[in-house]
Structure 1
Amino acid sequence: MSKSETVTIEILKDETLSKNWYHLRNITFRYTDAEGRTKVLKRETYDRGNGATILLYDPRRDVVVLVRQFRVPTYVNGGTGWMLETPAGLLDGDAPEDAIRREAMEETGYRVGPVRSLFKAYMSPGAVTEIVHCFAAVIDIEDRVEEGGGLASEDEDIEVVELGLDDAMAMIASGEICDGKTIMLLQWAVMNRDSLKAGASVAP
C-alpha cells in the first residue's frame, strides 16, 4: 500500500483572501500521515480556472508558431517581462479543444484543423489549482486567415513569432524561452518531428 493510500485529509476551513481577477484562498486542513500523526496545516491556493495551450507546427517549413507578450509576474521577479510562449488561454466554460481553437485564432490568426490532445499538467501544484490541457496541431501558412495579436477588450498586445524548431530549442538552452508549457511542447515536437513531417498530421 502506498503512502497516499494511508494518509487522510480533512478540509477544516476554506477562506477567501482575495477574489479580484482570480481567487486566492487560505485552506486549513487536518493531515494525518501514514504513522497516524495528525497536524493542522494552512496553505494558500490560487484558483484561476483551468486552461489549454497548443503547439502549432508547420512541417513544410519546420516552423513553430509562438506568441510574445508581457507578463507582469516575470517582470517583478527580475525578468524583462516579455515571454515567448505557445498560444494559451483559460477554458472560460468551454471544452478544452474548443477553447484552444478560439485562443489560437485570437492570438495568432491561424485557423486550426485537427488537433491532438497530448497530456494535462499542473504547472505549479504547490500553489496554483490550474490544470493545463496540452494540444498539438499541424498548420500551413495558408491557414493564417487573420492577423491575431489578441483581444483589445482584454488588453492583450501579442506579437506572433514564427521560429524554426531547432532555433526554438536553442532558445530554451539560452534562456530566451523559459515558459514551462512551451518547453514541454517544443520537446514533444522534437521527439515527434519525423512522424509529423511524414504524415503532416497530429491524429493519434
Structure 2
Amino acid sequence: MPPATSTTTTTTSTPSPAQPGTRVPDHRGRTDLDRTGLDLTGNPRVRVVAVELLAAAWHVLRRTTFDYRGADGRWVRQQRETYDRGNGATVLLYDPDRATVLLTRQFRFPVYVNGHPDGMLLEAAAGLLDDDDPETAIRREAQEETGVQVGALERVFDAWMSPGSVTERLHFWAAPYTPAQRTGAGGGVAAEGEDIEVVELPFADALAMTLTGEVADAKTIMLLQWAALHGPFRTR
C-alpha cells in the first residue's frame, strides 16, 4: 500500500482490443465504458487507480481499483464492483378528493429468485431517465404504466437506492390525478416486455400494506411514508 505522501498513477486496465464498450463500440454504440471514475477529484482520500469493464450487455458492470486513506492516515488499496443502469425517476400518483393512490403491479425476477413468493410487486410508477431530464422521464413513465396524463409535479427528494453496489440515483416526485386524467389504459410498453397491472387503492390501505409486506418495494414505501408525514395525507 502506498504511504500517505505517495503519488498514485491513474491507469486503466488493459482490455482486449476487441472488447465491446472500450475502444470499440458495444451493441448500443457506447465506447470508453472503462474510463468512468478515472477523473474523480472531489475526495482527496480517494485515488482511482484502474477501471475494468466486466460486462455491458445492456447496463454496465465495472470493477474499480482505488486507494483509500483511512481516518488513521494509512492508504489501503480496495476494489469495488459497481452496476451502472443509469438514473431513474418515480412518482406517487394520488387523488386528494378520493384519498386514493395509483400503483402498478408487475413481475420482478430479482425479488422472485430472492425469496418473494411470486415476484409480483406493488410499486409506484417508475423508470429510467434514458436521455430525458427527470421531469420529462416521469411524465413518460406515468403515461406508459398507468395511463395518467400528469399535470403539476412536486419534487420530493433524490436518493441512492443501493449505494453499496448500484450507481443509480432515483428522483422522487408526487402528483395529483383525477379519473379524467387517465387518458390511456397504461400497462407499460409491450415491445419492452412490460406487462403491468394498474392498481388503485385507498391511501390508508396502501400505507398499512407497507407493514404487512404487501407493499415491499423501497421507493414505494418511501413515497407513501412521505405522503403520510409531509405530503397530501399528513395529519395536521
- Say if 2:176 is the partner of 1:138: yes
Q: Which has the higher contact order (CA 8 A, sep 6+)?
A: 1
**Structure 1 residue 60: Cα displacement:** 1.2
Larger radius of gyration, structure 1 or 2?
2
> After the TM superposition, which residues 46-195 of structure 1 pair with which residues of structure 2 at under 5 Å, given as runs?
46-79=83-116, 80-191=118-229, 192-194=231-233
Give the number of the structure whose residues are more often helix, by fraction. Answer: 1
CA distance in 1, matches of 2:233, 2:52: 50
Q: How far apart are residue 153 of structure 1 and its match?
A: 1.1
Size of the aligned set, in residue pairs, is 193
Measured after TM superposition, the shift of residue 76 of structure 1 is 0.6
Retained in 1: the 8 A contact 2:228–2:234? no
The residue aligned with 1:201 is: none
Deviation at 1:193, TM superposition (A): 2.8
Provide TM-score, normalisation by structure 1. Answer: 0.91
Q: Helix, strand or coil: the match of 1:101?
A: helix
Provide the rounded CA distance (Å) in 2 between the counterparts of 1:65 and 1:6: 41
SS in 1 for 2:214: coil
Residues in 2 aligned to 1:129 and 1:115: alpha-carbon distance in whole angstroms: 25
**Displacement after TM superposition at 1:93 (Å):** 1.0
CA displacement, residues 109-167 of structure 1 (integer Å, 9 cap, x when unaligned): 00000101110000000000000000000110110000000001100000000000110
Structure 2 unaligned regions, length at least 5? 1-41
Are 2:227 and 2:233, in contact at CA under 8 Å, matched by a contact in 1? Answer: no
Picking from 53, 59, 68, the partner of 1:31 is: 68
Residue pair 1:86, 1:182 contacting (<8 A) in 2 also: yes
- Identity among equivalent pairs (%): 54
RMSD of the TM alignment (CA)? 1.7
How far did residue 95 of structure 1 move?
Answer: 0.7
**Whole-angstrom CA distance in 1 between matches of 2:120 and 2:153:** 27
* SS of residue in 2 equivalent to 1:193: coil
| Contact kept in structure 2, 1:51 and 1:132, CA below 8 Å | yes
Aligned to 2:184, what secondary structure does the other structure show?
Answer: coil
User: Counterpart of 2:79?
Assistant: 42
- Return the alpha-carbon distance in structure 1 between the equivalents of residues 43 and 146 of structure 2: 47
SS in 2 for 1:124: coil
Instruction: State TM-score, norm by structure 2.
Output: 0.79
Structure 1: which 5+ runs fail to align? 199-204
2:103/2:124 contact within 8 Å kept: yes
Whether the aligned pair in 1 keeps the contact of 2:227 and 2:234 (CA below 8 Å) is no
> What is the CA deviation profile of residues 42-76 of structure 1, one whole-angstrom value per residue up to 9, with x for unaligned ones?
11100000000000000111000000001110011
